[in-house]
């Protein structure tokens, strides 16, 4: 038996553990007799998260059209997943770091509802620092993209948080006057579309963009002076995200407008990743950047990989404003902390003095100790309101405006920390065993 250590979990990579299936084409199919399958997803921090069974064990995957093969990067101590044939490899991705060690495993069984693949290839990352769960506030085990989309017509309904997988030979497009259908190229197993950006109010520039549902941003653009893609005059330096090969930094700004066909969005956010972060990307070619879920979620879409086209229709999110982080704080869970909860009740006591008009109450307090995730500052933008008052990366937030943070989800706290310009916030934090108070006002960046 051969095994590898992944965090504190042994993942057994076995040959012949599962029976061989007659249909082993190595791709996803609907079970016989089914024409479609509906899958619900959780939409958290602009990411679609779905449950998928891997060799009989249910795990959570981000639906990421920007990846080729599924990648497994995080397992809890309670997870136990058996995998088949394997080989050690190194892979590179976004980020300013080196290539990372991984394991390539084939012959695995994947199931999502009635969608089934008996011979799925998957990559397992050995870098324990790659873990999206702390930033999202829920357990996420991996990402999946092309393999899940390639054989279906997939409807993505952000209004109802669901995916519909249809057999291409039985799918009928609806009569939709408010829809637009565009060519979608599949390059290196990733979807690309054409759009237009207006950076400086002088002209619309054509751009060729990856459709990336694994990106929480609106737009990423690669600087290209020859094509006129330059960082606008108003920008700020920022941490942009985490790639497979490390952290991604760059500049953030806004485009005057971004358009796909007749759909136009004004003042969309845009990030320009630095060249060190994109050096490992295999396919640049004519690619100018990516369109991420902060834009994609504003449409209900039909991804038609077999016929190389995409259909868009505006949904209820279309006119939502594009907001930048106004506090400068990025949050994540890091470990657990003990919280002392106090509850009280009043008991009415009769007054023994018959001549007294007063009423006596007895207050009884009950105390309990509970474990809650520790919420810390993961990143802190330079020159931000939070940075200027002395908050630091690694500070554990205890309360916001007097309310203990464990009363909120991490998503709710992000909204509070970025609600509106001028909003006053008081944070109680823990640093080096001491509790400190800080106060600041939210400020619009751009």
pLDDT tens for each residue of 415-434: 888 888 999 999 999 999 99
Using the 8-state DSSP alphabet, how is residue 225 labeled?
Answer: G
108 and 199, same domain (yes or no): no
Residues 76 and 59: their CA atoms lie apart, in Å, by 10
254 and 155, same domain (yes or no): no
Which residues are 291's β-sheet partners? Answer: 211, 219
pLDDT at 148: 96
Asked, for residue 148, whether it belongs to a domain, the answer is yes
Segment 214-237 mean pLDDT: 93
Asked, for residue 205, whether it belongs to a domain, the answer is yes
Tell which of 166, 197, 212 closes a domain. Answer: 166
In this model, does residue 250 exceed pLDDT 60? yes
pLDDT at 282: 54
Residue 78's alpha-carbon distances to 7, 49, 138, 333, in angstroms, are 12, 19, 15, 18
pLDDT at 24: 40
151 and 84, same domain (yes or no): yes
pLDDT at 342: 57
First to last CA, the chain: 57
Asked, for residue 37, whether it belongs to a domain, the answer is yes
Segment 69-93 mean pLDDT: 74
154 and 35, same domain (yes or no): yes
In this model, does residue 341 exceed pLDDT 90? no
Instruction: Give the whole-number percent of the chain exceeding pLDDT 90.
Output: 57
Locate 239 and state its tokens. 């941490």
25 and 161, same domain (yes or no): yes
144 and 23, same domain (yes or no): yes
The mean predicted confidence, pLDDT, of the chain is 84
Asked, for residue 143, whether it belongs to a domain, the answer is yes
109 and 257, same domain (yes or no): no
The enclosing domain of 197 has a CATH number of 2.40.70.10
In this model, does residue 13 exceed pLDDT 60? no
Locate 197 and state its tokens. 């950006």
21 and 157, same domain (yes or no): yes
Residues 133 and 359: their CA atoms lie apart, in Å, by 53
pLDDT at 153: 98
3-state secondary structure of 276: helix
The enclosing domain of 393 has a CATH number of 2.30.42.10
3-state secondary structure of 175: coil
Confidence band for 114, pLDDT divided at 50, 70 and 90: very high
In this model, does residue 37 exceed pLDDT 70? yes
Q: Which residue has the higher pLDDT, 350 or 276?
A: 276
Confidence band for 18, pLDDT divided at 50, 70 and 90: very low
Number of domains the chain is built from: 3
Asked if residues 395 and 431 have their Cβ atoms less than 8 Å apart, the reply is yes
Residue 234's alpha-carbon distances to 199, 253, 446, in angstroms, are 11, 6, 7
pTM: 0.84
162 and 189, same domain (yes or no): no
Kindly report which listed range (58-67, 235-244, 352-361) carries the lowest average pLDDT score. Answer: 352-361
Segment 195-224 mean pLDDT: 92
Confidence band for 51, pLDDT divided at 50, 70 and 90: very high
Residues 396 and 428: their CA atoms lie apart, in Å, by 9
**Model confidence pLDDT, tens digit, residues 271-287:** 999 877 666 565 566 89
Residue 299 domain boundaries: 180-314
In this model, does residue 294 exceed pLDDT 70? yes
100 and 22, same domain (yes or no): yes
pLDDT at 247: 77
In this model, does residue 21 exceed pLDDT 50? no
**Model confidence pLDDT, tens digit, residues 151-199:** 999 999 999 999 999 999 999 999 999 999 999 999 999 999 999 999 9
In this model, does residue 249 exceed pLDDT 70? yes
Segment 41-49 mean pLDDT: 94
In this model, does residue 378 exceed pLDDT 80? yes
Q: Which residue has the higher pLDDT, 31 or 281?
A: 31
Burial environment of residue 69 by CB neighbours within 10 A (0 to 12, 13 to 18, 19 or more) = middle
Please enumerate in sequence order all residues whose Cβ is within 8 A of that of 176, keeping only pairs 6 or more positions apart, or say none. 311, 313
pLDDT at 1: 23
Kindly report which listed range (6-15, 247-256, 280-289, 333-342) carries the lowest average pLDDT score. Answer: 6-15
Asked, for residue 55, whether it belongs to a domain, the answer is yes
262 and 287, same domain (yes or no): yes
pLDDT at 261: 96
54 and 116, same domain (yes or no): yes
């Amino acid at each position: 038996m051969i095994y590898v250590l992944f965090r504190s979990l042994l993942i057994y990579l076995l040959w012949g553990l599962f029976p061989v299936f007659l249909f082993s084409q190595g791709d996803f199919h609907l079970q016989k007799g089914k024409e479609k399958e509906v899958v619900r997803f959780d939409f958290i921090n602009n990411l679609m998260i779905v449950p998928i069974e891997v060799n009989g064990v249910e795990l959570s995957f981000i639906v990421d059209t920007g990846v080729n093969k599924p990648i497994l990067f995080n397992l809890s101590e309670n997870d136990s997943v058996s995998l088949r044939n394997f080989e050690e490899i190194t892979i590179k991705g976004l980020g300013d770091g080196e290539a990372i060690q991984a394991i390539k495993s084939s012959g695995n069984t994947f199931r999502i509802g009635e969608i089934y693949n008996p011979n799925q290839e998957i990559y397992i990352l050995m870098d324990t620092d790659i873990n999206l769960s702390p930033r999202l506030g829920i357990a996420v085990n991996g990402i999946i993209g092309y393999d899940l989309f390639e054989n279906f017509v997939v409807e993505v309904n952000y209004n109802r948080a669901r995916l519909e997988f249809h057999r291409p030979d039985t799918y009928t497009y609806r009569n939709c006057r408010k829809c637009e259908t565009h060519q979608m190229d599949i390059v290196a197993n990733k979807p690309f579309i054409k759009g237009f950006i207006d950076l400086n109010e002088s002209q619309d520039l054509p751009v060729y963009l990856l459709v990336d549902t694994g990106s929480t941003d609106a737009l990423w653009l690669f600087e290209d002076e020859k094509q006129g893609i330059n960082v606008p005059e108003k920008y700020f330096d920022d941490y942009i995200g985490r790639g497979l090969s490390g952290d991604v930094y760059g500049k953030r700004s806004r485009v005057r407008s971004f358009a796909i066909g007749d759909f136009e969005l004004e003042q969309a956010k845009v990030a320009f990743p630095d060249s060190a972060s994109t050096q490992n990307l295999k396919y640049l070619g004519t690619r100018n950047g990516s369109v991420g879920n902060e834009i994609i979620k504003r449409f209900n879409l039909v991804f038609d990989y077999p016929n190389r086209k995409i259909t868009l229709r505006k949904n209820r999110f279309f006119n939502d404003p594009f907001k930048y982080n106004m506090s400068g704080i990025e949050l994540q869970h890091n470990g657990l902390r003990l919280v002392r909860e106090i509850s009280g009740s009043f008991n009415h006591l009769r007054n023994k003095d018959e001549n007294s008009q007063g009423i006596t109450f007895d207050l009884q307090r009950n105390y309990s100790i509970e474990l809650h995730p520790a919420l810390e500052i993961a990143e802190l933008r330079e020159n931000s309101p939070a940075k200027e008052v002395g908050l630091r990366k690694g500070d554990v937030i205890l309360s916001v405006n007097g309310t203990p943070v464990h009363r909120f989800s991490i998503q709710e706290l992000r909204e509070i920390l970025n609600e509106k310009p001028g909003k006053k916030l008081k944070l109680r934090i823990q640093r080096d065993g001491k509790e400190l108070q800080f106060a600041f006002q939210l400020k619009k960046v751009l």
